[in-house]
Amino acid sequence: MRSTTSRRAFLQTALALGALAGSRLEAATALFSGAAEARTFKLAYAPHFGMFETHAGKDLVAQLEFMAQEGFTALEDNGMRDRPVETQEQIGRTLSRLGMRMGVFVAHQINWKQPTLTLPDPAAREAFLEDVRASVDVARRVNAKWMTVVPGHIDLRLHMDFQTANVVETLKQASGILEPHGLVMVLEPLNTLRNHPGMFLTTTPQAYLVCKAVGSPSCKILFDIYHQQISEGNLIPNIDAAWSEIAYVQVGDNPGRREPGTGEINYRNVFKHIHGKGFTGVVGMEHGNARPGREGERAVIDAYVTADSF
């Protein structure tokens, strides 16, 4: 009798523990996947490869799957053009499967030290245009719409107006290559005070002027909030003034070029503003992680949840 009672008690305890373990497993699964799958950001924030490598590993497909699981709906990869064709095609298929969009990749070889597009140099112009032609194929493989263009370094011996005219003429020819494919090069003004001294394109008004002079739907502005905070500040009024030419946005807090909330920019207000203007493009997360490892990666995700809660 005692044996039967003990056996019954043991079975009841085992069942109870099993149920408890099962409920905890279900809760853990929901915490890891369900909450993230249910998350919907108001804007299409685009991480880059390596940003969540501690969680997802080095495999690019696994990284994309992790991004999608966390609610991100786009990818940004500056170096896409230099990846093997098979890798580009694999990324394109994975993005399609996950319902994610491709953000920018860099369309050409940028010379960070010597003038290129600012010069009346037929060879430099043709080399740039050849890169743009090749980037049309890259865009097709990954189903991209936008590609970054940086006009390059200034020439200290040539008047800026002549340089502007040279850049405009080259970009008109590049637009002729991109327009039939519905592709858009986005010109990125860069700060010269911290990261890129000597570059030609530095401010929002200058980029606006160049785009208006080119006069093509395939030539627009990449508004990098990090660079423009350093170069000129006055973010929201400048966004409004240049809005008709802005097709893409990038993010990084200042100082440090890390995730929102680590610097001086009120990203919640900026995101709220561009969302209110009806922005449906991609917001590229072109910054590093403030902290290393899984904790730092989770902090990046939490930063976007916070900045997106407007």
Q: Which residues are catalytic?
A: 188, 286
175 vs 179, 181, 272, CA distance in Å?
Answer: 6, 10, 31
Q: Is the peptide bond before 122 cis (omega within 30 degrees of 0)?
A: no
The torsion angles phi and psi of 213, rounded to 5 degrees, stand at -70, -35
Cβ contact 239:229 at 8 Å: no
Cβ contact 200:167 at 8 Å: yes
33 vs 99, 101, 242, CA distance in Å?
Answer: 17, 21, 40
Cβ contact 152:200 at 8 Å: yes
In angstroms, the CA 41 to CA 304 distance is 8
The torsion angles phi and psi of 187, rounded to 5 degrees, stand at -85, 130
